[in-house]
Amino acid sequence: MSIPEHIRYVAIEGTIGVGKTSLAQMLLKRWSPQFADSCGISFLEEKFDNNPFLEKFYTHPDEYAFQTQLFFLISRLQELKNNVSQNEMFRPLLVSDYTFDKDRIFAAQNLTDAEFSMYDTVSKSLSVDLPTPDYIIYLQAGVDTLLSRIRHRNREMERNIQGDYLLNLQQRFDHHFWHYSACPVMIINTDRIDFVHYPEHFENLASMIETWPASTTYYAPEGK
């Protein structure tokens, strides 16, 4: 296993419950030995639980969607600019369990047309020269798989998430990353694997990720 020198910012994306943070943490452990003689790998983890509007959004989405998205927009911008731009000269590798683009996907799903227009204006004015990943790992899963994983992790605020909401969100993510051109994207369907509990599934998945394709690539492992 070797991470090419041009790969210095890896982002993992996907819908709610697909396993982004779990995969990020497992890859961090796998890749850390390569950077043992340097300052190590940085991990940028999405801090969803510090959004004061998120829990209210899940119970009253029409009332709190705009506040929720605006908070995420500003906080993610600050985190990315602080952790990517300022540390560019010092870090060997940054792994993130989200991209800035996900906020726009959620905004398009949750906001009214008028709210989204205002959100879009703010987003474009603040995100000028925002660094982009060198490589994106986009995890897919069907609605039944997502609902099962969400139930398993048992976060109280997520208990009312419905299948229709996840389906619409998945379709938006699919469209975005199938047409993404800023960097290579590895699109992985995770319906038939459980990389958290089966080491052989993770090994197979990690080996595919480490082919570092130069263009968008789709992979559907048959783990079960």
Q: What is the pLDDT of residues 67-118, one digit of tens each?
A: 999 999 999 888 887 776 555 545 678 899 999 999 999 999 999 999 999 9
More confident position, 81 or 190 = 190
The whole-number pLDDT of residue 1 equals: 60
The whole-number pLDDT of residue 41 equals: 82
Which secondary-structure segment (H or E) carries 90? none
- Is residue 13 pLDDT above 50, yes or no? yes
The whole-number pLDDT of residue 47 equals: 84
Domains recognised in the chain with CATH numbers? 9-219 (3.40.50.300)
The count of residues in the chain is 224
The whole-number pLDDT of residue 89 equals: 46
- Is residue 151 pLDDT above 60, yes or no? yes
Question: pTM for the complete prediction?
Answer: 0.92
Nearest to 61 by CA among 53, 52, 71: 53
Q: Is the dihedral of CA 66, 94, 13, 155 positive or negative?
A: negative
